[in-house]
Amino acid sequence: MRIPIVAANWKMHKTVPEARAYLERLIGLAGRDPGVEVVVFPSFTALPAAAALLEGVPVGLGAQDAHPEPAGAYTGAVSVAQVADLGVRYVLCGHSERRKLFGEDDALVGRKVRAALEYGLAPILCVGEALEERRAGRAWEAVDRQLDRGLGPVEGDPDGLVIAYEPVWAIGTGVAAQPADAQEMADRIRRWLRERFGAVGDAIRVQYGGSVKPDNAREFLSLPDVDGALVGGASLDPDAFWAIVQSARR
C-alpha cells in the first residue's frame, strides 16, 4: 500500500520568522500521526531553522530545487550536496516554474533527479502538459517525454522517487484539472513506471498538483491512482494546508 504524501511548496514566500511561526502552528496540528506523509518545502534561507524545528516531528523537509553539481562556479546556486547536509529528505526537480521562468530543460532535470538519488535524497519529479498541448490532444505525449528524459539518467532503483503530475495551466490559476483527467494521467504514469522499473514502479507515489484547495482536495485525494498532492498557494496557511492533509487520510 502506498502512503499518501501531501507536500507544501511555499515557493518564494516567508522570511525565517514567518517560516518559524508557520511550522510551530503546523507542529501543533501534526501532533498525532495522520496516516499521511507530510512534507514542507521552504525557501533555502529557512531550511536550517525548519530542520531544527522539525527534529523528531512527523513532518518532512524538502528543498524546492538543487543544482546537480556537488560544488563549483555556479553563482547563486545551491547544490544537492549542500541541501543534503541540512537534513532535507526531498528535492523538487523540474517544477514548471523552474522550467518556464528559469529555462530548465529535460536534460538538466534528469541530472537533478540522478544527483538527488546519488546523495540519498528522494526526488519529486514534476511533469505536466501546457494548455496548448492538452488542447491539441498531446498531453500524454508531453508527460511521456518528461518522464523519459527526467528519469533517463537514473540507474538502478529510484529509492523514494515521487512523481508530481501538475498540468501547467492548473498551477496557481485557481482552475484545477478535472479529477477524471488527473486519474487518467496518474494511471498512465503508473503504467509507465511499472514498465520502466518493474515491481518497484508500483510503490512509486504519484501526486496531483494544480490549484488544490481544502474544498476540492478530497476529489483528488480519493482517486485510486493519486497518492497525494503537491500544494502551492493553499499551503501558505498552515490551517488550510492541514485541512488538505486531512483529506488524504484513507
Least spacing, CB of residue 176 vs ligand PEP, in Å: 8
Binding-site string for ligand PEP from residue 204 to residue 243, where x marks contact by CB under 6 A and - marks none? -----xxxx-----------------xxxxx---------
Question: For this structure, is 67 an active site residue?
Answer: no
Kindly report the length of the chain: 250
Q: Which is nearer to ligand PEP, 68 or 232 (CB)?
A: 232
Which residues, in sequence order, are CB contacts of 128 under 8 Å at separation 6+? Answer: 96, 142, 143, 146, 165, 166, 167, 168, 170, 171, 209, 210
Site for ligand PEP contains 128 (CB under 6 A)? no
Residue closest to ligand PEP when measured from CB atoms: 232
Contact 158, 197 (CB under 8 A): yes
Cβ count near 16 (within 10 Å) = 15
β-sheet bridge partners, residue 41 = 9
The catalytic position among 95, 97, 129, 133 is 95
Q: Which is nearer to ligand PEP, 186 or 197 (CB)?
A: 186
Q: Which is nearer to ligand PEP, 82 or 211 (CB)?
A: 211
CA-based radius of gyration for the chain = 17
Give me 95's grid cell.
517544477
Active site residues: 95, 166
Q: Which residues bind ligand PEP (CB under 6 A)?
A: 9, 166, 171-172, 209-212, 230-234
